[in-house]
Amino acid sequence: MHVRPGTPADLLALRHLIDSIENFTPDEKEVARELAELAVSASPGERADYELLVAEEAGALAGYVCFGPTPMTLATWDLYWIVSSPRLRGRGAGSRLLLAMEEAARRRGGRQVRIETSSGGEYVSTRAFYDRHGYPEVARLRDFYKPGDDLITLYKRL
């Protein structure tokens, strides 16, 4: 599996991948598509608010991670989306993308990463994935998304 920066040529495959994610709501899919497009469309030398790395296996898009420096902080980064292809799950794309994102943040002076996610049942495996990679829950806002669906903040010092 190969991890590399995303490019505008990846946009169609990224859109298809985002649309294939079963637990994303229509609004989440729209935001994910928008951030992916912003991340790959920055001109060379232009400071991008979002960065995107893609994982490929045998020439097929296996997943991507969208991340960036947290505004108004010195060394904090946000991981916005990490997505792996449903047909290729379990082959390590998510782990490789997460490690590549951490390394990219470190190279640019990042000292910590923050992730926000839902407490919803459809995100149990997502939260377990992050926990296995050293991102424990550090905060919870009750009923943030809707009654019974909390905002969970995960955090890791790099």
| CB hemisphere CA count around 95 (13 angstroms) | 12
Q: How far apart are CA 21 and CA 156, in angstroms?
A: 26
Which CATH number fits the domain that encloses residue 124?
Answer: 3.40.630.30
Q: Is the dihedral of CA 29, 148, 84, 7 positive or negative?
A: positive
What's the pTM value of the predicted model, to 2 decimals?
A: 0.91
What single letter denotes the amino acid at residue 72? Answer: M
Residue range 36-88, pLDDT digits in tens: 999 998 776 666 788 999 999 888 899 999 999 999 999 999 999 999 998 87
Task: Domain of residue 116: give its range.
Answer: 2-157
- Give how many domains the chain has, as a whole number: 1
pLDDT in tens, 117-133: 999 998 999 999 999 99
Q: Are 45 and 61 in contact (CB under 8 A)?
A: no
Question: How many Cβ atoms from other residues are within 10 Å of residue 142's Cβ?
Answer: 10
Asked whether 100 and 136 are in contact (CB, 8 A), the reply is no
